[in-house]
Amino acid sequence: MLVVEDLAVELGGRLLLKHIDLEIPPGETHILFGPNGSGKTSLLMTIMGYPQYKVVGGKITFKGVDITHAPIDERARLGIGMSFQRPPTINGLKTRQMVSLCGGGGELALEDMAERVNFADFLDRDVNAGLSGGEIKRSELLQLMAQKPDLLLFDEPESGVDLENIALVGQTIAELLQKDSDLALPGAKTIRQSRKARTKMGLIITHTGYILDYLEADKGYVLYHGVLSCGNNPREILHCVGQFGYEECVRCTLENN
């Protein structure tokens, strides 16, 4: 379980997020909507533990451990992983080596995994070197497949992905989050049991909502000007934003405050 309580975050002395409350129980995936610059990426980076995002109030707890000020690698080892929007290039480090590092040095069916996200041709390239937006998404997915985190943070996983690969990306995310319907989890006989046996948690930033075609999300939020609101059915939010724009969220937020 991820619990975020009354979180306030500063970046470079500017308050970016305030009064954020969020709870993701095991097995659930939540969706984060919001216009550009509303603080969505900042929220994910804060949960991941990027030190430039300074927590000035509130608390983050994961699996019962207070991680509010824990270093980033400690959070990773506790089971948090993130798919980044614009990860840096690492010269001289092959993607193949990077994926092994993500797997913690254990045995990996690396080639098979790469095949699955259509990335086998890139394994001997330096990490993120010269990749297009869509290729970066698949590289990030491959790394997460090896890392196997329990809480997965996705920053716009479908943006820049071409039509041919969008289903692949969507299905892989669903698998990682144990949301794909074919997945038989250990000890589960019925679909209901299978659902209950889910343990993975997800938080996904999306603008387009395409990802919702591939997995059932449990809850959606709108982040506007650093304030989280709505907490509603994600499809409904998407529909509403599509129809009335984020203006409606402003009115709603104003009313709530």
Q: Which stretch in 70-78, 159-167, 215-223, 235-243 sits in contact with another protein by CB under 8 A?
A: 70-78
User: Judged by CB, which is closer to another protein: 203, or 249?
Assistant: 203
Interface mask toward another protein for 30-69; x: CB under 8 A: ------------------xxxx------------------
Restricting to residues 87-126, which ones interact with another protein according to CB under 8 A?
87-88, 90-93, 98, 101-102, 104, 126
Binding of residue 23 to another protein (CB under 8 A): no
- Report in angstroms how near the CB of residue 32 gets to another protein at its nearest: 18
**C-alpha span between 145 and 118 (Å, rounded):** 13
User: Judged by CB, which is closer to another protein: 25, or 71?
Assistant: 71
- Report in angstroms how near the CB of residue 120 gets to another protein at its nearest: 19
Could you tell me if 59 and 68 are in contact, meaning their C-beta atoms sit under 8 angstroms apart?
yes
Binding of residue 133 to another protein (CB under 8 A): no
Interface mask toward another protein for 143-162; x: CB under 8 A: x---x---------------
**How many chain residues touch another protein (CB under 8 A)?**
26
**C-alpha span between 77 and 96 (Å, rounded):** 20
The separation between CA 122 and the C-alpha centre of its own chain, rounded to angstroms, equals: 23
Burial of 178 (0-12, 13-18, 19+ CB in 10 A): buried
Binding of residue 71 to another protein (CB under 8 A): yes
Binding of residue 223 to another protein (CB under 8 A): no
Binding of residue 84 to another protein (CB under 8 A): yes
Side-chain half-sphere exposure of 77, counting CA atoms within 13 A: 6
| Residue carrying structure tokens 């996983």 | 157
Among 17, 76, 142, 211, binds another protein (CB under 8 A): 76
The separation between CA 105 and the C-alpha centre of its own chain, rounded to angstroms, equals: 24
Among 3, 11, 55, 72, binds another protein (CB under 8 A): 72
Alpha helices in 28-109 (DSSP H): 40-48, 72-78, 95-102
User: Nearest 5°: phi and psi at 164?
Assistant: -60, -35
DSSP secondary structure string, 109-154?
-HHHHHHHTT-GGGTTSEETTT--HHHHHHHHHHHHHHH--SEEEE
Kindly list the residues in this chain that would bind another protein in the complex (CB under 8 A).
Answer: 48-51, 71-73, 75-77, 81-82, 84, 87-88, 90-93, 98, 101-102, 104, 126, 143, 147
